Structure 1
Amino acid sequence: MSKNKELLKKDDIVQAVLIADDFSEEFDLVTKNTPFVLLPLVNKPILDYTLEFLASGGVDETFIFCCTHSDAIKEYISNAKKTAIWANVMDVHILISESCTSLGDCLRDIYAKGVIRGNFVLVEPGVISNMKLLPILQEHIATLKKDKGATMTLVMQETGLEQNGLCSMEETLIVTNDTKQVLLHRRLANYEENKIKLPLEMFLEHAEVKIWYNPRDTHISICGPNVLPLFADNFDYQTRWDFIRGIMMVDEVDDSTIYCHVLSDGQMGAAITSWDMYQSISWEVIAGWFYPITFKTQAPITFGKSIVKGEKCLVSSTATLVNCILGDNVKIGEDVSLKNSIVFSNVKVDQASEIYNCIIGKDSILSSKSKLKNKIYCDSQEVDRVPLPKICADPFDGFETSDSEDESYTTSPVPDDTKMFFSEVMDSLERGIEDKLQCHNLILEINSSRYAYNVSLKEVNYFVCKAILSLPFQLQDGSQYLQALSRCLAYFSPILKNYIRDDDSMNDCLQAVQDVAIANNELSSCIVKVLNWLYDKDFLSEDVISSWFSNLDNSVSIYSKVVPFVKWLQEAEEETSDDEDD
């Protein structure tokens, strides 16, 4: 038993309430015959992610509240209990009420049933997380002892400016004090004024005030015993936001308080509240942000172009796929262009079709030369998918190679981001070679770090190559630099192959070789051997090496050392040309 579990009373059972319906029209087109929580997220039902999170977080008993498609959910849970890991550690019950039309109605019905015995975890639909629930629950219980009016602890995710995976409709400003009590909670999406005034008393009455701009709402809340009675007494509380606003603004409940816990240290939480969030979270799952909560795939990921395939997929060799997730039994015809899209199971896309930034529902058939852009398509119907402003629009943007991407190697939106990215890549590679980790797992870590620090593809190529060249200096195995570097190059060849794919990435690699060699005599003395190895393994081409050398300053220390190698390349090329002429 964990230390946090021991802190709870022996007769306390950690309970959770999971609302299965989203009560919006966002997903109506694809949920006519399928429950929202059973929609696939990277080829695994959303419900699986949520239950796995709750079980691993220490929840003993979960109540799934269904308003629609209850039979499908009951059947799924019944079958999953035979094999699911969560079934061994957590009891799952299903509550049904077809008359409920909001989260508030569901909670009032649960209160009437009397199944919740105290504090509980409220989980809204579409949640995925790897957070440790028990410490947050224990923190909430400790707060209740000090503040009898404490009702709810909101769980938020710390984020960076303009980070992907944020919904502009949930843009929020939260102010807390040193006890994490929420002093102000303001939704900014529909806020009419362009300024928010913070009372001076807020700063005078509290020793510490923290202002959180736009943390990601995980849609997970730790609720006290008084939450359900408050919903029961206030029928105008239809959503959790209604509840928060009521507690924060209405005088009649001014003895009640709300607290906020902000996740950090690798703990993640998110909820699928829109198609844009669905697509963003899909990429975060692929990148490993929610590890150890992860997806299942029968086919390997094509890392270079971010493609995940389900079982029994048939893709034509002439089709172009970039940043795509394919469900089971998907058939992609000849000359199809499929980019930034998610395709559910049993879909057929006929030849010469062009699909961009779309969600294609289950069992759909797209005839030849179909053209869809920014659409949700299902049952021969389509609706426009209007991208949300800025951060939620096209969450895959920035992960696709662009010919126009000409950022410098050290340019980044935040000055220290590239340094932090380089440091994390170094840590991943060092751990990878010492623990003999598979390179495809390391690529996931690198892509995850790229996403976290918002670095460009050019910077990723450069710093990955620089890290491999620099790693021998950190390996304390007593070997000489060249010997250690040879080991690194051989071991990390799959990583180099993943990132060095065209002339631009070759130039990024050569820039890294040049910079490390100029700064370190160890590489400078063996630079020709390194260049020859990269050339021999087809990571560098003759033309790119020659072009790089022609722009190399002849005053730098490595220039004279590289001259014989470049001359040999040129002579070999001339001899090859002569042989072809003969």
Structure 2
Amino acid sequence: MPPKNKKQKEVVDERFQAIVLTDSFQTRFMPLTSAKPRCLLPLANVPLIEYTLEFLAKAGVNEVYLMCSSHADQIQEYIENSKWTSKNSTFSIKTIMSLESRSVGDAMRDLDNRGLITGDFLLVSGDVVTNIDFSKVMNAHKQRKTIDKDHIVTMVLTPASPLHRTRSRVEPAAFILDKNTNRCLYYQQLPPADGKKTSINIDPELLEDVEDEFVIRNDLIDCHVDICSPHVPQIFQENFDYQYLRNDFVKGVLTSDLLKKTIYAYITDGSEYAARVESWATYNAVSQDILARWCYPLVPDSNLSENNSYTYEFNHIYKEDKIILAQSCKIGNCTSIGTSTIVGDATSIDKSVIGKNCKIGSNVTINNSYIWDNAIIEDNAIITKSIVAFDAKIKKNSIIGDGSVIGFNVVIGENQQVPHNYRIIDVPIKKIDDDFDSSSFDSDSNDVSETNIASNEPTHINDTDIVGDDGVGSLYISERELDDESETESIMSGSINQHSGMIYQMNNLALSDDSIASISNRKSKRHSRHSSKGRRLSTTSALSTDFENGMSDEEEDEHFDKEAYATVERAIDNNHDLDTAALELNTLKMSMNVGYHEVRLATLQAMIAKIKQYVSTETLNAKDATNKLFTSWGPLFQRQAFDDQERIDLLQLLQQECTTLPAEYNQIVLFVAVKVLYDLDLVPEENILEWWNSAASNASTDLQLVKKLTENFIVWLQDAEEESEEESDEDSD
């Protein structure tokens, strides 16, 4: 009997959990996602989340938790009425109402607070379509954990050419991996191309543990399928500024001197399929792959939804029962038609998905488009490379331009022509300002969750110029001057929207996929190039590409200087708490990819400028102003200087900034600031003395003069040190 109990206990302990993030925390599928969550939008007439849950069922998951924020009630209702809650389901499933979450980081912190995780778990998005053999991934993960006790994440990546249609055009990224172990050494999102070169900047210290070679991979599809240890939610909890899974968490862990955790990549053999439906471009690409059976068994005739009844015919044509097709209509290859749909005479449908209960008139042309359930397309209409959502209606003789999205319940009147890349919604949406920064190329940071979209306006105003006098609907325009929605629609349509401005030209990509020669043989020859970038630059780490793109390093640093300066200035003026100011600075640091040297410099410049303002306006004298500011805001440096060299650098920067002040009080500012930093235990005595005696602090006449008053404090420190040593010697005697 005891052995049986022991065996039962082991089964419980080895349960495998999955966390599904149902909210994309993005607005790329607006305006449709203002009314329905992305994970419930139909992909080849199957709700998108079904593909994710099918993957989890085959992966051997025992428990599934759906983290829901946007439209959580719709997701919960769908799951309660789905096959996944039946007795025959291979796993238990629960919806977690994480209504306050606005990012992946928020969801992970909520997960940690709930204490649901019992061991390693699978983290996926609710928009994943994959047929990978997960048992191989799990075996590789377990083997790696036996070797590396610090291993906390295994990322599943799939090789694909840079121009592969399921590759992300809005979140391109490069992974630097140890060639032998696939340990991830560095991660960097790549900016969209705008005619300038870019580079990958990596601290050489991150590569010192590489025994042989490392490779730079820009040919990987990242579907955000990760096996995580329980440490992952805890790290998000401890770093409340982490918002994004890759650009914050992965990048932060890999560059942290404190966490000492490792992340590995599992790269599939290329024969398996994996993609995320993260944009209209990938929606189109994955749909066509499903119809062409590239992701078998995830194909229409597998009938993933309980109510589907598809059968497969030649040329990748799929039909459900009860459809009525006119004898003269033409159904081209890679086409799917849902139940109870009627198609009229001389109508042509090619490379398209037609939903259930649709009514397609006569002489209609539908090419490479997606017509969702209950839509009506009247005679002589032409629809190419577009989406017509649930219950929409396209009246006679109307033309829908490439890349357009016709929203729920919209009616396009007779003889209307909708231009390319237009998005039409039935009722206008009142949107919040998302503070879009067109200079940022972190696509995650340019998106806001659909949860943040306010309710519809009470009045219904039709854009008759677009939908016609007999139509219903209005033009949806993103509040961003440049938004990725227009970009992805343009990609789907095969044309470039002249208003989008952010089209991503992958053909410019020329980052080598080959391994770089081993650095282990060149460690003794490596010479770091010291500059204001601190650890961020080196002669061996700035791996240049012909990827024409974004801001140069100098422009990026200048932009950070201004933003960080304004952040500190605002914190002082509005008397923010230190945590808020530190969070904003750290967020800027990671989003702009700068080092702590730049953060310290910007913080000091703002504080010195405020001292100058106090003195010039006679609000406070130099001594009181410096004491006030450094006592209140000096603790910021505790989160910006972590070792001896960084604290010495802080003092050197302080000295340099004091030389910009008027001569009548610049010595006072330096003296008081150094003393306050010492009194607050922010800079220890040995660091102060090392800075004082360094060549850098005496490099010019201005630097020597500004130190004059501080000399008395240095003498006091040295005398105190000598007395301490004498007392220590006496005690020893």
TM-score by length of 1: 0.62
Matches within 5 A, 1:371-520: 371-372=417-418, 373-379=420-426, 380-383=473-476, 393-395=490-492, 397=494
Measure, in 2, the Cα distance between the counterparts of 1:214 and 1:171: 9
- Structure 1 letter corresponding to 2:274: G
Structure 1 residue corresponding to 2:257, chosen from 236, 251, 254 = 251
Shift of 1:223: 0.5
- CA deviations on 1:412-445 (whole Å, 9 max, x unpaired) are xxxxxxxxxxxxxxxxxxxxxxxxxxxxxxxxxx
Measure, in 1, the Cα distance between the counterparts of 2:31 and 2:294: 29
Matches within 5 A, 1:42-441: 42-81=44-83, 88-177=89-178, 178-189=180-191, 194-196=198-200, 202=207, 205-241=210-246, 242-253=248-259, 255-295=260-300, 296=303, 300=319, 302-303=332-333, 305-355=350-400, 356-372=402-418, 373-379=420-426, 380-383=473-476, 393-395=490-492, 397=494
8 Å Cα contact 1:359-1:376 kept in structure 2: yes
Measure, in 2, the Cα distance between the counterparts of 1:183 and 1:106: 26
Measure, in 2, the Cα distance between the counterparts of 1:364 and 1:396: 21
- Structure 2 letter corresponding to 1:94: T
Label 1:376 to 1:277 Cα distance change in 2 as closer, same or farther (>3 A): farther
Kindly name which structure, 1 or 2, has the bigger radius of gyration based on alpha carbons: 2
8 Å Cα contact 1:170-1:188 kept in structure 2: yes
Secondary structure of the structure 2 residue equivalent to 1:88: coil
Label 1:274 to 1:61 Cα distance change in 2 as closer, same or farther (>3 A): same
Measure, in 1, the Cα distance between the counterparts of 2:157 and 2:493: 23
8 Å Cα contact 1:272-1:278 kept in structure 2: yes
Shift of 1:27: 2.7
Label 1:87 to 1:394 Cα distance change in 2 as closer, same or farther (>3 A): farther
Shift of 1:388: 8.1
Measure, in 1, the Cα distance between the counterparts of 2:391 and 2:68: 27
- Structure 1 letter corresponding to 2:290: V
Measure, in 1, the Cα distance between the counterparts of 2:241 and 2:85: 41
RMSD (Å), alpha carbons: 3.0
Q: State the partner residue of 2:25.
A: 23
Secondary structure of the structure 1 residue equivalent to 2:373: coil
TM-score by length of 2: 0.50
8 Å Cα contact 1:276-1:387 kept in structure 2: no
Secondary structure of the structure 1 residue equivalent to 2:160: coil
Measure, in 1, the Cα distance between the counterparts of 2:40 and 2:289: 19
Measure, in 1, the Cα distance between the counterparts of 2:375 and 2:284: 19
User: Percent same amino acid at aligned positions?
Assistant: 28
8 Å Cα contact 2:404-2:489 kept in structure 1: no
8 Å Cα contact 2:281-2:488 kept in structure 1: no
8 Å Cα contact 1:111-1:229 kept in structure 2: yes
Aligned residues: 390
Shift of 1:152: 0.9
Shift of 1:332: 1.1
Q: State the partner residue of 2:691.
A: none
8 Å Cα contact 1:167-1:392 kept in structure 2: no
8 Å Cα contact 1:276-1:388 kept in structure 2: no
Q: State the partner residue of 1:578.
A: none
Secondary structure of the structure 1 residue equivalent to 2:81: helix
- Structure 1 letter corresponding to 2:393: K
- Structure 1 letter corresponding to 2:355: G
Measure, in 2, the Cα distance between the counterparts of 1:176 and 1:246: 16
Shift of 1:384: 5.9
Shift of 1:155: 1.3
8 Å Cα contact 1:53-1:293 kept in structure 2: no
- CA deviations on 1:510-538 (whole Å, 9 max, x unpaired) are xxxxxxxxxxxxxxxxxxxxxxxxxxxxx
- Structure 1 letter corresponding to 2:370: I
8 Å Cα contact 2:85-2:93 kept in structure 1: no
8 Å Cα contact 1:359-1:377 kept in structure 2: yes
Secondary structure of the structure 2 residue equivalent to 1:168: coil
Label 1:46 to 1:121 Cα distance change in 2 as closer, same or farther (>3 A): same
8 Å Cα contact 2:378-2:396 kept in structure 1: yes
Measure, in 2, the Cα distance between the counterparts of 1:82 and 1:239: 29
Shift of 1:118: 0.8
Secondary structure of the structure 1 residue equivalent to 2:367: strand
Label 1:389 to 1:194 Cα distance change in 2 as closer, same or farther (>3 A): farther
Shift of 1:387: 7.4
Label 1:359 to 1:222 Cα distance change in 2 as closer, same or farther (>3 A): same
Label 1:56 to 1:113 Cα distance change in 2 as closer, same or farther (>3 A): same
- Structure 2 letter corresponding to 1:375: Y
8 Å Cα contact 1:164-1:391 kept in structure 2: no
- Structure 2 letter corresponding to 1:287: A
Shift of 1:100: 1.6
8 Å Cα contact 1:343-1:360 kept in structure 2: yes
Deviates more, 1:102-111 or 1:293-302: 293-302
- Structure 2 letter corresponding to 1:394: I
Shift of 1:158: 0.8
Label 1:392 to 1:119 Cα distance change in 2 as closer, same or farther (>3 A): farther
Shift of 1:218: 0.6
- CA deviations on 1:104-137 (whole Å, 9 max, x unpaired) are 1111111111111010011123111111223212
Measure, in 2, the Cα distance between the counterparts of 1:34 and 1:390: 21
Measure, in 1, the Cα distance between the counterparts of 2:254 and 2:141: 18
8 Å Cα contact 1:165-1:395 kept in structure 2: no
Return 5+ residue gaps in structure 1 as ranges. Answer: 1-5, 399-582
Deviates more, 1:72-81 or 1:294-303: 294-303
Shift of 1:396: 6.5
Label 1:33 to 1:244 Cα distance change in 2 as closer, same or farther (>3 A): same
Label 1:208 to 1:82 Cα distance change in 2 as closer, same or farther (>3 A): closer
Measure, in 1, the Cα distance between the counterparts of 2:484 and 2:231: 39
